[in-house]
């Protein structure tokens, strides 16, 4: 990736104690380029008005920019704009689907064992969960998924395309094809995939796809739910209100068509416009280049963390697509991952995330009681930064590291 783009990210000029920071927490939220910041700000400074609420000059300008953002999202994923629903985040998008399908406890939802809580809890609440067998640190195996569908006969399969813990990439298109064979509704959590992988919903052939804008250079509070048109039209809205109806009488109402019927109330207009600018920025960079840079960072991450003592490194294998996400699990340390994260931050100015990464079942199943420190890189990161972070971890291990068994393992 051209290092010049680093200048586009104001946060990268931020210093702590006079030293520039290294930001390796993009899987939680990415940094924002000036283009996205400016576009978001422009709504508040240049054309503040509600959208689709009138015919004033400014309102029409605001509506134009908001819809332009939707068209950019559609272009980004190869979709029809009307099927792009602007939401606050992936969690809400998935929750909308779970709530809108009219599930009962009789309905089985097949989930991936590496699922983020946001792709578990809505299904737990509405239906009965079954899990695809297998190692949660590995990509889903299509054969195992097929077998699970045959056994459980689910109404829905909901899976994470890319693991937020170790970056493992499941073969989403193959899985959706299997689901379709069985008439199972497929829901793809693309929160970690959308920032890194080229997406074409036609090729993917899923029923629903959800992702967040803030993990891909957009403002926080922005997300997307895409659905197959007929699937979205059948989806019962979670909330109805202003903007979702064509006409209301004293006793009845008529719903608008897509996408409005699923966007109640005033949307996050500034955020959506910022997201549009962020996606334009990514499109200009080139999806293939982004993926290639991600591969380079992944390889650097793997090489730099390989052999780190007193830790288990959770990182997807080298056989498939490479996403620069790795979790460092302290083994036998007398401290939690929070202390490691704080030390990386305060002593080495490396920003990471600690804890259980909204994946309690995975951590419980593996017996990782101290959680893990996750390093996640993105387009603005360099190999040097990855090496610096790994060197910092080595130094921390040398002082705070565990005293018991040492395991450094990558899945094949």
Partner 1 sequence: MIPASDKERTLASWHMNRALREGVQASILPDGIELTDTQTGFAVELRSGDVPAMTSPGPDGDRLWSKLSLMGLAKPAADLKEVRRRQRGALRRSEPPLLDRLRDLMARIRREIPFFCERAASYDPRRLASLEDFQGLPYLRKQDLRANFPNGLIPTSTDLRAGLDDGSLTILATSGSTDERLQIVTRSIIDRLPFGSDDLFGVPIGGKQPRTAFFTTPVCASMVCRRAAGTFEERRSSISPDLYLRTTNDPFAIETPILKSFCEDVERFQPSILAADPLYLQCVVRAAKRDGIKLPTIPVIQRGFEFATRKAIADIREAFAAPVFNDYGASEENRIAIECHLGSLHVRADVVYFEIIDQSGPCQPGIPGAVAITTFDTVTPLVRYLIGDVAAWTGRTCSCAFSDWPTIDYHGRSKDLVRSRGRWVTAAEIDDAVGTPDWLDFYRLSQTSSASFEIEVVPAAGESPEVGELSTRLKHLIEPDKVRYRPVSRIDPLPSMKIGTVQTRLPTCEIP
Q: Which is nearer to partner 1, 333 or 378 (CB)?
A: 333
- Output 30 or 354, the one with its CB closest to partner 1: 354
Supply the minimum distance, in Å, between the C-beta of residue 321 and partner 1: 36
Please, which residue, 167 or 401, has the CB nearer to partner 1? 401
Q: How far is the CB of 339 from partner 1 (least distance, A)?
A: 5
> Binding partner 1 by CB under 8 A: which of 67, 400, 406, 408?
400
Does residue number 17 form part of the binding site for partner 1 (CB under 8 A)?
yes
At residue 25, φ and ψ (nearest 5 deg) are -130, 35
Please identify which residue in 2, 15, 183, 399 interacts with partner 1, judged by CB under 8 A.
399
Distances 95 to 200, 211, 225, 334 between C-alpha atoms, Å: 23, 12, 10, 38
Q: Which of 53, 125, 153, 403 binds partner 1 (CB under 8 A)?
A: 403
**C-alpha span between 199 and 225 (Å, rounded):** 14
Among residues 378, 342, 369, 337, the alpha carbon closest in space to that of 354 is found at 337
Q: In whole angstroms, what is the distance from residue 277 CA to residue 37 CA?
A: 9
From CA 125, how far away is CA 120, in angstroms rounded?
Answer: 9
H or E segment to which residue 268 belongs: none
Question: Residue for token digits 């293939």?
Answer: 288
Q: In angstroms, what is the minimal distance from the CB of 121 to partner 1?
A: 20
CB 274, min distance to partner 1, A: 24
Do residues 119 and 127 touch, judged by C-beta distance below 8 A?
A: no
| Sites for partner 1 among residues 324-383 (CB under 8 A) | 333-335, 338-339, 342-343, 346-347
Give the single-character DSSP code of 139: P
Number of residues that bind partner 1 (CB under 8 A): 18
Q: Is 16 in the site for partner 1 (CB under 8 A)?
A: yes
By CB under 8 A, name the one of 13, 104, 391, 398 that touches partner 1. 398
Structure tokens at 394: 């080595």
Phi, psi for 323 (deg, rounded to 5): -115, 130
Torsions phi, psi for 64 (to 5 deg)? -60, -50
Q: Is 49 a residue that touches partner 1 (CB under 8 A)?
A: no
Task: Write out the two tokens for 207.
Answer: 């029923």
- 358 catalytic residue (yes or no): yes
By CB under 8 A, name the one of 221, 271, 276, 401 that touches partner 1.
401
Answer for which of 402, 406, 408, 410 binds partner 1 (CB under 8 A) is 402
Does position 250 interact with partner 1 (CB under 8 A)? The reply is: no
Beta strand 156-160 pairing with 128-131? unpaired
Tokens matching residue 283 = 């499109």
Q: What angle do CA 183, 107, 229 make, to 5 degrees?
A: 45
Q: Which of 206, 234, 358, 394 is catalytic?
A: 358
156-160 and 108-111: which strand pairing?
A: parallel
**Minimum distance of partner 1 from residue 399's CB (angstroms):** 4
Specify the residue, 281 or 356, whose C-beta has the smaller distance to partner 1: 356
Per rule CB under 8 A, is residue 388 in the interface with partner 1? no
Indicate the residue among 16 and 151 with the shorter CB distance to partner 1: 16
Binding site residues, partner 1, CB under 8 A: 16-17, 333-335, 338-339, 342-343, 346-347, 395, 398-403
Give the residue numbers marked as catalytic.
Answer: 358
């Amino acid at each position: 990736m051209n290092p010049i783009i680093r200048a586009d990210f104001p946060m990268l000029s931020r210093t702590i104690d006079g030293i520039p920071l290294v930001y390796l927490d993009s899987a939680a939220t990415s940094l924002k380029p000036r283009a996205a910041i400016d576009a978001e700000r422009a709504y508040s400074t240049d054309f503040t008005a509600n959208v689709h609420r009138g015919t004033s000059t400014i309102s029409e300008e605001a509506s134009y920019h908001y819809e332009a953002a939707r068209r950019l999202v559609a272009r980004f994923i190869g979709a029809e704009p009307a099927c792009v629903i602007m939401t606050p985040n992936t969690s809400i998008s998935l929750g909308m689907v779970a709530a809108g399908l009219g599930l009962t406890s009789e309905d089985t939802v097949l989930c991936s064992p590496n699922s983020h809580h946001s792709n578990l809890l809505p299904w737990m609440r509405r239906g009965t969960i079954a899990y695809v067998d297998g190692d949660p640190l590995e990509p889903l195996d299509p054969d195992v998924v097929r077998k699970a569908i045959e056994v459980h006969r689910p109404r829905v399969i909901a899976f994470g395309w890319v693991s937020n813990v170790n970056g493992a990439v499941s073969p989403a298109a193959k899985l959706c094809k299997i689901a379709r064979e069985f008439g199972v509704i497929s829901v793809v959590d693309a929160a970690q995939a959308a920032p890194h992988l080229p997406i074409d919903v036609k090729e993917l052939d899923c029923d629903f796809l959800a992702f967040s804008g803030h993990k891909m250079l957009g403002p926080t509070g922005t997300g997307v739910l895409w659905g197959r048109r007929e699937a979205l039209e059948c989806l019962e809205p979670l909330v109805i209100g202003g903007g979702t109806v064509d006409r209301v009488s004293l006793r009845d109402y008529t719903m608008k068509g897509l996408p409005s019927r699923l966007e109640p109330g005033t949307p996050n207009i500034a955020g959506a416009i910022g997201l549009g600018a962020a996606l334009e920025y990514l499109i200009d960079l080139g999806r293939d280049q982004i993926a290639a840079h991600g591969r380079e960072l992944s390889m650097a991450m793997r090489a730099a963390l390989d052999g780190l003592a007193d830790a288990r490194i959770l990182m997807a294998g080298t056989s498939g697509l490479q996403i620069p996400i790795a979790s460092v699990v302290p083994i036998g340390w007398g401290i939690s991952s929070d202390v490691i994260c704080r030390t990386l931050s305060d002593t080495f100015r490396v920003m990471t995330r600690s804890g259980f990464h909204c994946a309690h079942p995975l951590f419980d199943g593996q017996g990782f009681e101290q959680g893990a420190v996750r390093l996640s890189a993105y387009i603005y990161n360099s190999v040097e930064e990855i090496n610096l972070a790994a060197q910092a971890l080595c130094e921390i291990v040398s002082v705070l590291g565990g005293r018991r068994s040492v395991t450094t393992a990558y899945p094949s």
